[in-house]
Chain A
Amino acid sequence: MAKTHISFNLNGRPVDVLAEPRELLIHVLREQLAHTGPHIGCETSHCGACTVDLNGRSVKSCTVLAVQAQGGNVLTVEGLATNGTLHPLQEEFMQQHGLQCGFCTPGMLVRAYRFLQENPNPSEEEIRTGMSGNICRCTGYQNIVKAVQHAAKRLQAAGGK
């Protein structure tokens, strides 16, 4: 099958790839663009480890075709830090022990990033609902929720972003 030319912005930089229409976004990100932050946990749309931001919305990149990113904006965990400085969410996942094995963490971070844009001052309940598409098998979620709470406070103090 003929490959298609796909262009999109990845973490703010334009990228071009050739891929078959049947290739999933997660595979193109990991295998062609060397962005291995988004993980493949289940490949069945359940775990959220593959979560990326596509055009300002959290999606599971194992359930989106790469061709669907054509002309779009994709954000992965690699795009969260700026000039070597970790994003407040990354800092707080570290400070609050929001990870153990770390497998779910890139998906958690990218989802939490978008969630806090949608709801900058969430309650604990809202965090749990907003993060419910991401499964963690290690932490029991408590410290992930705490990390998101702390990051929300810091981001608010810094005036968003």
Chain B
Amino acid sequence: MIPATFEYHAPSNLKEAIRLLGEHNSGAKILAGGHSLLPMMKLRFAAPAHLIDLNRVPELKGIREQGGMIRIGAMTTENEIIASELLRTKCPLLPEAARQIADPQVRNCGTVGGDIAHGDPGNDHPAIALATEASFVLTGPKGERTVAADGFFLGTYSTQLQADEILTEIRVPAIGKGTGWAYCKLKRKTGDFATAAAAVQLQLDGNTCKKIVIALTNVAPTALKAKDAAALLTGKTIDDKLIEQAAQKVMSICDPAEDLRGDREYKTHMAAEMTRRAIRLALERAKGK
């Protein structure tokens, strides 16, 4: 399996990458880790005339903190996310999810930016970005704009990213005191995409849930934010009864596609179960257990 012919470009800085993308516009694609794009090109589901490789653009790598925000370069790999002490303490949901993505070799190549920009509902970072209330920096010929993760994902393989824009940075607020988090992912085997998964980040004030965000992977054409389920729990002391009500609300918004991982009913029920587990684990962590 060999991709269709294309012209290869390896810019050494962001400015050059944006210029190249603008020049070839609709015929060009960005190559990040290549672990979604190259498989699609091998199957000829994608056949860009130009490939712009970002792997030699150092400014798109790295993780740093600035004003309570963690800024992650789009070309940061999953393994770099797992290894980051800063993320482990300030945005622990990211390494927790990255550890559940694919396998060690894929995680050496696959980037957080590629996982988000691809717009695949099976990818894990979109739900994580929703749950952590992240925002994305999109850079194009006219400069950069920052958009919230909530609203960025429009449909399968469709996002707010324009053809001449590059996702350059992911910004994630550092967690506050009393925060709990969990990403519970059901998969058939190591390295598989989620049958269903739930990301939860919540903050307690004593026993009261001050704030909670719930997001779901692979149970609709995009990652979903379960707003009604979260509203049920906000301002309350979360108990089993409330968790059950939230799980029922989650099921009501699921719209999964049937495939080898299961039929619609099964996936919907598994989304609810992952939500129950993620809320319980996040609560335990928030209480420091």
Q: Which residues of A are at the interface with B, using a C-beta cutoff of 8 A? A: 1, 4, 20-24, 27, 43-46, 48, 51, 57-60, 63-65, 67-68, 70, 111, 115, 129-133
Asked if A68 and B53 make an inter-chain contact with CB atoms under 8 angstroms apart, the answer reads yes
Number of interface residues of B (CB under 8 A): 29
| Stretch binding the partner chain, chosen from B105-113, B135-143, B149-157 | B105-113
Given A63-B34, A64-B34, A132-B191, the answer on whether A45 and B106 have CB atoms closer than 8 Å is yes
The answer to whether A133 touches B103, judged by C-beta atoms less than 8 angstroms apart, is: yes
Find chain B residues with CB under 8 A from A22 CB: 2-6, 41
Shortest Cβ distance from residue B40 to the other chain A in the assembled complex, whole angstroms: 11
Asked if residues B35 and A63 are in contact (CB atoms below 8 Å), the reply is yes
In the bound complex, CA of A70 to CA of B8 (Å): 12
User: A residues within 8 A CB of B31?
Assistant: 65
Q: Which residues from A are CB-within-8-Å of B15?
A: none
Q: A45-B35, A46-B191, A132-B191 are in contact. Are A59 and B105 (CB under 8 A)?
A: yes
CA distance A68 to B7 in the complex (A): 13
- Are A65 and B103 neighbours in the complex by a CB distance under 8 Å? no
Smallest Cβ distance from B48 to chain A, in angstroms?
11
- From B7, B39, B104, B106, contact of A21 by CB (8 A): B7
- Interface: B51 (CB within 8 A): yes
Is B1 an interface position by the 8 A CB rule? yes
Q: Which residue of A lies closest to B105 (CB)?
A: A133
Answer whether residue B190 sits at the interface, using C-beta atoms and an 8 A cutoff: yes
Q: Chain B, 6-38, contact with A by CB distance < 8 Å: what is the 0/1 string? A: 111010000000000000000000010011001
- Measured between C-beta atoms, what is the minimum distance from B54 to chain A in Å? 11
- In this assembly, does B42 line the interface, its C-beta being within 8 Å of a C-beta of chain A? yes
Total A-B pairs, Cβ < 8 A: 77
Determine whether the beta carbon of A59 is less than 8 Å from that of B109.
yes
Residue among A20, A115, A133 having the largest count of chain B Cβ atoms under 10 Å: A133
Which residues of chain A are near B103, meaning CB under 8 Å? 48, 132-133
Contact of A67 among B1, B8, B191 (CB under 8 A): B8
State whether B39 touches A63 (Cβ < 8 A): yes
Q: Interface code B253-281, partner A: CB below 8 Å = 1, 0 otherwise? A: 00000000000000000000000000000
With both chains docked as a complex, state the minimum distance between the C-beta of B57 and any C-beta of chain A, in angstroms. 13
A129 to B190, CA, bound (A): 9
B208-253 residues at the A interface, CB under 8 angstroms: none
For the complex formed, measure the closest distance between the CB of B29 and the CB atoms of chain A, giving whole angstroms.
Answer: 13
Could you tell me the distance in whole angstroms from the C-beta of A126 to the nearest C-beta in chain B? 11
B55 contacts partner chain A, Cβ-Cβ < 8 Å: yes
Minimum C-beta distance from B225 to chain A (A): 30
Which residues of B lie under 8 Å from residue A44 when comparing CB positions?
Answer: 1, 39, 42
- A-B contact sample (13 more), CB < 8 A, given A22-B4, A59-B109, A133-B191: A24-B2, A24-B38, A43-B42, A58-B105, A59-B108, A60-B106, A65-B8, A65-B31, A67-B8, A68-B53, A133-B102, A133-B103, A133-B104
